[in-house]
């Protein structure tokens, strides 16, 4: 039973791949390379030693942009959420900046940082910063007052109150926010690499098209982006399995 349940998605994917391959065979107009072509493309990339290099380049940028955003946005968001007045001051700016896609910042990123890693990291940082800030603000504001009152009742100093009550109380919501934001970072890095740098998986896709319409490499790049995105999501989701953070207010 369990095995069958586990096999089901694998069988479904295999069927889709087979259908894809058959469709490519029947239609000589090459709208897409077939699965074999894509596998060949991936093998090509490995042979030329660029696949691993590009993956590392993309992950490097995502890591820096994401980590910088976490380090700045989470404490700032917790502070803004804690002080009502700060929230009233910051909220209009946040709401104004929020609808601006991080991609709209590409020209400014290149103007400030030139073509290179810094521009891409900056764009990823921008894409992560506001969603994380909003998550942290909302997380603080949804902490039930009883936890704060109980903490104060036991004689905690303001610092202890933040460390022993506020921080654990917001953790489950922060983990959800981190997961969504890491997904955004992975989306933004591909777009940023198409324009602002000359390495990475995003660059691979644009370069493969420009340098000779190698659509097998384009799709190979897309497949790699999908697989790595999935692995990143699985990694961050495992944070949510830590027992002390696996609860939510609605359970009570």
Partner 1 sequence: MSSMEALVTPSALQTRTKLRAEHVNMVFQRDGQKMAVLEDINLEVGDGEFLCLLGPSGCGKSTLLNTMAGFLSPTSGEIKVDGEVVRGPDPRRIFVFQERGVFPWLTVEGNIGFGLFKLPRQERERRIAHYIKMVGLEGFEKTYPPELSGGMKQRLEVARALAVNPDMLFLDEPFGALDSITRLIMRGELLRIWEAERKTIIFVTHDIDEAVQLADRVVVMSARPAKIQQIVTIDIPHPRDISSPRYLELRDGIFKQIGLAHKV
* Sites of contact with partner 1 (CB under 8 A): 144, 146-147, 149-150, 152-155, 160, 164-165, 168-169, 171, 243-245, 247, 251-252
| Torsion over CA: 122, 128, 133, 136 (sign) | negative
Q: How many CB atoms lie within 10 A of CB 252?
A: 6
Give the shortest CB-184-to-partner 1 separation in angstroms. Answer: 27
Give the shortest CB-19-to-partner 1 separation in angstroms. Answer: 45
3-state secondary structure 69-119: HHHHHHHHHHHHHHCHHHHHHHHHHHHHHCCCCHHHHHHHHHHHHCCCHHH
Q: How many CB atoms lie within 10 A of CB 244?
A: 8
Choice between 52 and 247, CB closer to partner 1: 247
Choice between 63 and 245, CB closer to partner 1: 245
CB 206 within 8 A of CB 229: no
Give the shortest CB-27-to-partner 1 separation in angstroms. Answer: 55
Choice between 102 and 172, CB closer to partner 1: 172
Choice between 52 and 154, CB closer to partner 1: 154
Query: For the residues of 61-83, what is the DSSP string, one character each?
Result: HHHHHHHHHHHHHHHHHHHHHHS
Choice between 210 and 250, CB closer to partner 1: 250
Q: How many CB atoms lie within 10 A of CB 30?
A: 12
Give the shortest CB-170-to-partner 1 separation in angstroms. Answer: 10
Give the shortest CB-69-to-partner 1 separation in angstroms. Answer: 24
Give CA–CA dist 121/133, Å, rounded: 18
In angstroms, the first-to-last Cα distance of the chain is 34
């Amino acid at each position: 039973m369990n095995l069958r349940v586990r096999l089901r998605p694998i069988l479904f994917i295999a069927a889709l791949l087979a259908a894809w391959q058959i469709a490519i065979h029947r239609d000589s107009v090459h709208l897409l390379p077939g699965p074999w072509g894509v596998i060949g493309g991936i093998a090509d990339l490995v042979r030329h030693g660029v696949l691993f290099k590009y993956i590392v380049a993309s992950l490097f940028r995502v890591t820096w942009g994401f980590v910088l955003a976490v380090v700045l946005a989470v404490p700032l968001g917790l502070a803004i959420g804690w002080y009502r007045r700060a929230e009233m001051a910051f909220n209009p700016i946040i709401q104004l900046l929020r609808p601006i896609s991080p991609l709209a910042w590409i020209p400014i990123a290149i103007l400030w940082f030139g073509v290179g890693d810094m521009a891409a990291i900056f764009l990823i940082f921008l894409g992560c910063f506001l969603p994380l800030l909003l998550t942290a603000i909302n997380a603080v504001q949804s902490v039930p007052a009883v936890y704060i009152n109980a903490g104060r009742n036991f004689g905690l100093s303001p610092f202890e109150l933040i460390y022993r009550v506020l921080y654990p109380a917001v953790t489950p919501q922060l983990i959800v926010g981190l997961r969504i934001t890491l997904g955004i970072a992975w989306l933004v890095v591909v777009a940023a690499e198409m324009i602002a740098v000359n390495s990475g998986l995003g660059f691979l896709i644009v370069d493969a098209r420009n340098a000779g319409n190698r659509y097998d490499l384009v799709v190979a790049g897309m497949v790699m982006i999908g697989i790595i995105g999935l692995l990143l999501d699985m990694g961050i989701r495992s944070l949510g399995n830590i027992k002390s953070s696996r609860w939510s207010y609605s359970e009570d």
